């Protein structure tokens, strides 16, 4: 069984849901600098998110941008095409197995806010399954006159009827929590309820929950997360909930949960010390027992009363040294008694890293990334009590995602995709390896004219940096090809091959070349690859990105006039820093929901939780380094920059919209031409529904057409 924790929140790109609590930290806190800082920064007023002055400014700049980009030839047609894709009923309805049902959240033209629905496995296998609607968010929003956006639910084991539903206003990470009864399809009268906050919740039993929320003064950490865990009993007020744990003053978050299993339930507490480190406790007979594990290890789950962990640094135990990135397994009882003897399940190599680790009734499933291509391994005990591995082959040269694993079955789902192959959803037998194709996504563009290559660029320090390039087979090496380079490079997140109907239709079919960077800071080659660009090594990520850009030009794939870059969140910081460092290298920059003011980032929303990634700018030696690349502090009057397109969301309570607002205001005052669009809702994802998503995407590509294709 896997420990039952909170869903991961992406910081850009697709997010694996395994390392959940450690990656859910990317959320909100705000504090005010003193008078001296205010005097230095004339744009601080834009940090007041919903002040009339700020919103009036936003609407004015939005109008300036849309009046230009909506007139770019092809914009209207592209907007319609993308909306048709996003609303298409031919999409794969990915479903999560819970109890005897498969549940799916679905948005389309009719259900713009979405419906939560369920069906059986026999029905799911059909081309057009019959779905039973459990919760209609559109109908709820209309009835209650609220701008509800569905954010997930926590269900009570073992019948899964009682649920704690999270509903956000306008797409923010902060959400209202309401108890819902699936069997009755209605909210529970006088049930558990929490007002809007970034709450942490988990069932204990039908009348009791673990809860972390905004209890009032001193209950939230400086990162805006719950720092106190309480047990709350049905029928009592939240004020009566009993405190069982309080995080340290400098910690990021605290979480209490119960992992349900036929082998016995386990209650646990996790305290996030930093973004990458946490204390781990088991609650036994009302007492906390701290597990003596490396603080930076990921606590993956329990399998047949054994604990599985993944290392982010070398670990010495019982005279053995275990390599960072390795997956270890050992007795939970031994761990509790401080007598554990870990064994290595799998360890990485220089160009191979370990991705997800999940368990079925009898097997452990491990996805590995071998030179940025996924493979799936199955581990089982042999007759001698040793682990044996076997590769389960789905398809090659792509990305595999394993889900719907549980302790009652050895069957599971695998999704496969690559740049030119739409997603295929398979049901796989762990016992035999037999696979059944359940669903296939549509082919939204003709892939025949295109090919995928993996090239290597050499960074400033000599490190070899891989990147994927998707291009027409007949492309001429004349330096005249419009090229879009996408990157992220942070938080151990890997950029992997995946099919994008948007990229295919909006870019490849228009004659563009698409490039995906695998720079340091990501997780493509494990913790070492990530740690190589942490804190005072952050510039390595930007040097890698620049090296890829230079390599594209050197190979005559493109030229500076035809090269654009794109990134969001941490990737927004990447492209922001890169265009400021090398303005000569690009002619277009799409900078989405970015961090840009790296002096104040720790004081804006979730920023305090990211100090483990970027470093603390309030420390003089760290700021001396950060200020070398902080985009907001390095943009200068009189320098010729690309005409950057910045986007953000008013309702983003993860990365503060002021990062983009202030950068735009400063650049405009410096007489630089920029484009800007701020969606009034949508949260960190930028859009609250498919219509907004299609419109914002169309704006971005219209900008790229204008800058790189001369439209």
Which residues, in sequence order, are bridge partners of residue 101? 98
Q: Which of 111, 530, 659, 684 is catalytic?
A: 684
Burial class (CB in 10 A: 0-12, 13-18, 19+), 90: exposed
Is 684 an annotated catalytic residue? yes
What does the longest C-alpha to C-alpha distance in the chain come to? 73
Which residue bears the tokens 């109008």? 63
Q: Residue 497 is encoded by which pair of tokens?
A: 């091959």
Which residue bears the tokens 């739409």? 422
Burial class (CB in 10 A: 0-12, 13-18, 19+), 231: middle
Reference 454, options 371, 512, 393; nearest CA is: 371
Reference 661, options 594, 600, 574; nearest CA is: 594
Reference 681, options 12, 45, 69, 55; nearest CA is: 55
Task: Give the DSSP H or E segment for 355.
Answer: strand 352-359
* Chain centre distance of CA 293: 26
Quote the DSSP letter at residue 338: T
Q: Which of 569, 609, 649, 697 is catalytic?
A: 569
Q: How far apart are alpha carbons 363 and 430 in whole angstroms?
A: 7
Task: Give the DSSP H or E segment for 187.
Answer: strand 186-187
* Chain centre distance of CA 225: 17
Note if the bond before 305 is cis, omega within 30 degrees: no
Reference 87, options 701, 702, 693, 697; nearest CA is: 693
Strands 588-592 and 563-568, how do they pair?
A: parallel
Quote the DSSP letter at residue 606: G
Is 326 an annotated catalytic residue? no
Q: Residue 655 is encoded by which pair of tokens?
A: 């990365």
Helices 690-708 and 75-87 pack at an angle, to 10 degrees, of 140
Which residues, in sequence order, are bridge partners of residue 458? 464
* Chain centre distance of CA 131: 28
| Distant-in-sequence, close-in-space partners of 119: CB < 8 Å, separation ≥ 6 | 95, 101, 102, 104, 129, 130, 131, 132
Q: How far apart are alpha carbons 170 and 25 in whole angstroms?
A: 20
Which residues, in sequence order, are bridge partners of residue 457? 465
Residues forming the active site: 569, 684
């Amino acid at each position: 069984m896997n420990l039952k924790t909170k869903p991961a929140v992406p910081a850009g790109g697709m997010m694996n849901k395994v390392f959940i609590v450690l990656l859910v930290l990317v959320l909100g806190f705000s504090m005010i600098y003193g008078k001296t800082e205010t005097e230095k920064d004339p744009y601080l007023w834009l940090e007041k998110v919903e002040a009339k002055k700020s919103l009036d400014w936003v609407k004015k700049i939005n109008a300036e941008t849309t009046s230009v980009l909506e007139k770019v030839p092809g914009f209207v047609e592209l907007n319609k095409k993308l909306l048709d894709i996003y609303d298409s009923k031919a999409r794969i309805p990915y479903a999560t197995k819970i109890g005897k049902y498969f549940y799916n959240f679905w948005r389309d033209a009719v259900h713009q806010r979405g419906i939560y629905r369920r069906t059986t496995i026999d029905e799911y296998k059909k081309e057009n399954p019959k779905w039973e609607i459990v919760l209609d968010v559109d109908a709820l929003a209309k009835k209650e006159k609220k701008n509800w956006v569905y954010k997930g639910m926590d269900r009570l084991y073992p019948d899964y009827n009682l649920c704690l539903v999270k509903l956000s206003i306008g797409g923010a990470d902060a959400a209202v929590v309401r108890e819902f009864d699936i069997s009755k399809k209605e909210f529970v009268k006088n049930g558990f309820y929490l007002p809007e906050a970034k709450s942490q919740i988990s069932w204990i039993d039908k009348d009791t929950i673990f809860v972390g929320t905004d209890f009032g003064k001193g209950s939230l950490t400086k990162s805006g997360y719950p720092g106190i865990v309480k047990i709350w009993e049905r029928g009592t007020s939240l004020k009566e909930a009993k405190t069982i744990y309080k995080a340290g003053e400098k910690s990021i978050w605290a979480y209490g949960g119960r992992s349900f299993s036929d082998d016995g339930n386990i209650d646990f507490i996790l305290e996030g010390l930093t973004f990458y480190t946490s204390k781990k406790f088991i609650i036994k007979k009302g007492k906390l027992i701290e597990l003596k594990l490396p603080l930076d290890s990921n606590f993956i789950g329990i399998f047949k009363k054994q604990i599985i962990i993944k290392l982010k640094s070398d670990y010495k135990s019982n005279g053995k040294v275990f390599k960072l990135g390795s997956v270890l397994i050992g007795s939970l009882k031994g761990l509790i008694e401080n007598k554990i003897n870990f064994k290595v399940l799998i360890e990485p190599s220089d160009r191979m890293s370990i991705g997800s680790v999940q368990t079925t009734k009898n097997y452990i499933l491990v996805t590995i990334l071998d030179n940025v291509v996924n493979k799936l391994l199955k581990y089982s005990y042999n007759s001698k009590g040793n682990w044996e591995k076997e590769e389960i082959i789905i398809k090659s040269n792509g990305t595999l995602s394993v889900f719907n694993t549980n302790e009652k079955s050895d069957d599971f789902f695998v999704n496969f995709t690559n740049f030119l192959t739409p997603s295929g959803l398979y049901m796989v037998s762990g016992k035999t390896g037999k696979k059944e194709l359940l669903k296939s996504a549509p082919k939204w563009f003709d892939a025949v004219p295109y090919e995928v290559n993996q090239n290597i660029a050499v960074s400033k320090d000599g490190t070899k940096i891989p990147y994927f390039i998707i291009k027409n087979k007949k492309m001429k090496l004349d330096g005249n090809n419009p090229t879009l380079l996408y990157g992220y490079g942070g938080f151990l997140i890997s950029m992997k091959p995946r099919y994008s109907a948007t990229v295919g239709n909006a870019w490849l079919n228009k004659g563009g070349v698409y490039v995906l960077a695998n720079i340091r800071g990501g997780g493509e080659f494990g913790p070492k690859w990530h740690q190589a660009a942490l804190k005072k090594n952050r510039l390595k990520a930007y040097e890698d990105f620049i090296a890829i850009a230079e390599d594209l030009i050197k190979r005559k794939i493109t030229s500076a006039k035809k090269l654009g870059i794109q990134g969001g969140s941490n990737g927004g910081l990447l492209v922001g820093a890169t265009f400021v460092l090398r303005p000569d290298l690009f002619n277009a920059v799409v900078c989405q929901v970015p961090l840009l003011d790296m002096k104040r980032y720790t004081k804006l929303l979730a920023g305090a939780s990211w100090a483990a990634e970027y470093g603390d700018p309030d420390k003089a030696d760290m700021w001396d380094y950060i200020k070398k690349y902080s985009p907001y502090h390095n943009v200068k009057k009189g320098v010729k920059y690309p005409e950057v397109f910045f986007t953000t969301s008013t309702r983003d309570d993860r990365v503060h919209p002021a990062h983009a607002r202030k950068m735009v205001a400063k650049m405009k005052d410096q007489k630089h031409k920029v484009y800007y669009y701020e969606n009034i809702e949508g949260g960190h994802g930028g859009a609250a529904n498919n219509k907004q998503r299609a419109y914002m995407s169309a704006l971005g590509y219209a900008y790229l057409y204008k800058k790189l294709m001369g439209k």
